[in-house]
């Protein structure tokens, strides 16, 4: 069974419309068009698609890939760059901005995971050690941090980690300790295994392809089994949850679920495979944007799980 993960909370992000291979989104005060190849239907809105601040073009269109930004947009420095602007979700603040990879500094569809993370961690009587691998700009880490977790946030990009620090300060959580590390994920896990460091809660969003800080090659289909095996070795004896998300178009939530289920087979718990979705405003359709899988222990309230190393 495929589960739909989405939040119904109103906030300053909206998926306004989809169609003809694109999606129209509002990020705070700005509106953008981004590719969404799965939208094999017609657009519903009309004038809203013309009142935009920017559009991301992919090389599949036969044009040069990248952003085309409106000179009339508030906050535009020039035709190729926009200043960051502030967004928020349930009191956590973070910056949005057009990146070279079509993203805007965070992934709105992951809001359901942010809710889940904060709720699970805040419900625990004991301290929770939280690890965010491939952590990007750190929004998930901030929800864990506010809930009281001891947070370790890792990414291979120094520039991205600088943004994570900015978001932490923007949310006024810089008085709380968050360990921010620039490293290759697999090498970091190897060192944590040798040190005997353990984590109660882990979230990971590995890319389909990437490079580590020293040029390490990452291919999801080749390295995911190795990644999950190392994850198993750093889990505490009383794990709270493990979340795995993938934006690779040739993966499925079921395949991710089977992989995580195999990893956690010695734990008493359950795996829920599904899709991260947002609600489209124009027709109230549930739009899937990523595959995800969540493992939780059977006795989550007590966090009593027998974990065989």
Q: What is the pLDDT of residue 145?
A: 98
The CA distance from 203 to 27, in Å, is: 24
The CA distance from 257 to 300, in Å, is: 19
Same domain, 285 and 217: yes
Q: Taking the CA atoms of the chain, what radius of gyration do you get in angstroms?
A: 19
Pairing of strands 201-204, 241-246: parallel
Pair 160, 136: CB distance under 8 Å:
yes
In this prediction, residue 83 has a pLDDT band, given cuts at 50, 70 and 90, of confident
CB atoms within 10 A of CB 43: 16
Same domain, 171 and 31: no
Q: What is the pLDDT of residue 303?
A: 39
Same domain, 129 and 262: yes
The CA distance from 268 to 288, in Å, is: 29
| Continuous H helices in 23-154 | 111-122, 139-146
On average, the pLDDT of the chain sits at 89
Summarize pLDDT for 46-81 with one digit per residue, the tens: 999 999 999 999 876 666 788 998 754 444 444 456
The CA distance from 124 to 303, in Å, is: 8
The CA distance from 41 to 22, in Å, is: 10
Same domain, 51 and 111: no
Same domain, 58 and 111: no
CA 146 from centroid of its chain's CA atoms: 17
The CA distance from 241 to 264, in Å, is: 11
Q: What is the pLDDT of residue 71?
A: 53
| Domain that residue 241 falls in | 88-97+101-297
Pair 147, 176: CB distance under 8 Å:
no
CB atoms within 10 A of CB 4: 11
Same domain, 60 and 189: no
| Continuous H helices in the chain | 111-122, 139-146, 158-170, 185-195, 220-234, 253-263
Number of domains in the chain: 2
The CA distance from 217 to 210, in Å, is: 6
Phi, psi of 243 (to 5 degrees): -120, 130
Is residue 97 over pLDDT 50?
A: yes
| DSSP of 131-158 | EEET-TT-HHHHHHHHTT-EEEEEES-H
State mean pLDDT over 288-306. Answer: 73
CATH number at residue 204: 3.40.50.150
Burial 60-97 (b: 16+ CB within 10 A, else e): eeeeeebbebbeebeebeeeeebebbebebeebbbbbb
Does 23 or 82 have the greater pLDDT score?
23
Same domain, 131 and 28: no
The CA distance from 3 to 139, in Å, is: 23
Is residue 302 over pLDDT 60?
A: no
Summarize pLDDT for 120-158 with one digit per residue, the tens: 999 999 999 999 999 999 999 999 999 999 999 999 999
Q: How many helices (H) and strands (E) does the chain have?
A: 6, 19
Is residue 261 over pLDDT 70?
A: yes
Residue 17, beta-bridge partner list: 24
CB atoms within 10 A of CB 7: 21
Q: What is the pLDDT of residue 75?
A: 46
| Residue 1 maps to a domain | no
| Residue 275 maps to a domain | yes
Same domain, 58 and 128: no
Please provide the size of the chain in residues.
309
Q: What is the pLDDT of residue 267?
A: 87
State mean pLDDT over 80-98. Answer: 91
Does 286 or 213 have the greater pLDDT score?
286
Q: What is the pLDDT of residue 52?
A: 95
Nearest partner of 140 among 222, 235, 205, 81, judged by Cα:
205
CATH number at residue 58: 2.60.40.1180
The CA distance from 23 to 84, in Å, is: 21
Same domain, 286 and 141: yes
């Amino acid at each position: 069974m495929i589960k739909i993960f989405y939040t119904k909370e109103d906030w300053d992000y909206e998926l306004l419309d989809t169609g003809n291979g694109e999606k129209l989104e509002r990020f705070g005060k700005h509106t953008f068009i981004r590719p969404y190849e799965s939208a094999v239907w017609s657009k519903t809105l009309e004038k809203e698609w013309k009142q935009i601040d920017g559009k991301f073009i992919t090389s599949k269109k036969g044009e040069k890939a990248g952003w085309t930004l409106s000179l009339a947009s508030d906050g535009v420095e020039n035709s190729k760059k926009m200043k960051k602007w502030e967004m928020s979700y349930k009191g956590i603040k973070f910056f949005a901005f057009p990146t070279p990879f079509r993203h805007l500094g965070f992934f709105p569809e992951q809001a359901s995971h942010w809710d889940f993370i904060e709720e699970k961690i805040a419900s625990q009587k004991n301290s929770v050690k939280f690890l965010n691998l491939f952590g990007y700009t750190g929004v998930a880490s901030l929800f864990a941090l506010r809930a009281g977790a001891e947070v370790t946030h890792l990414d291979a990009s120094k520039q991205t980690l600088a943004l994570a620090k900015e978001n932490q300060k923007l949310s006024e959580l810089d008085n709380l300790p968050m360990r921010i590390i620039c490293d290759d994920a697999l090498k970091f896990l190897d060192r944590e295994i040798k040190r005997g460091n353990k984590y109660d809660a882990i979230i990971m969003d590995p890319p389909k392809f990437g490079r580590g800080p020293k040029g390490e090659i990452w291919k999801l289909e080749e390295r995911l089994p190795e990644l999950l095996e190392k994850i198993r070795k750093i889990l505490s004896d009383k794990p709270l949850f493990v979340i795995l998300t993938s934006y690779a178009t040739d993966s499925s939530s079921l395949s991710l679920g089977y992989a995580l289920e195999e990893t956690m087979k010695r734990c008493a718990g359950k795996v829920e495979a599904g899709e991260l979705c947002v609600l489209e405003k124009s027709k109230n359709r549930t739009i899937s944007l990523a595959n995800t899988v969540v493992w939780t222990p059977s006795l989550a309230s007590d966090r009593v799980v027998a974990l065989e190393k």
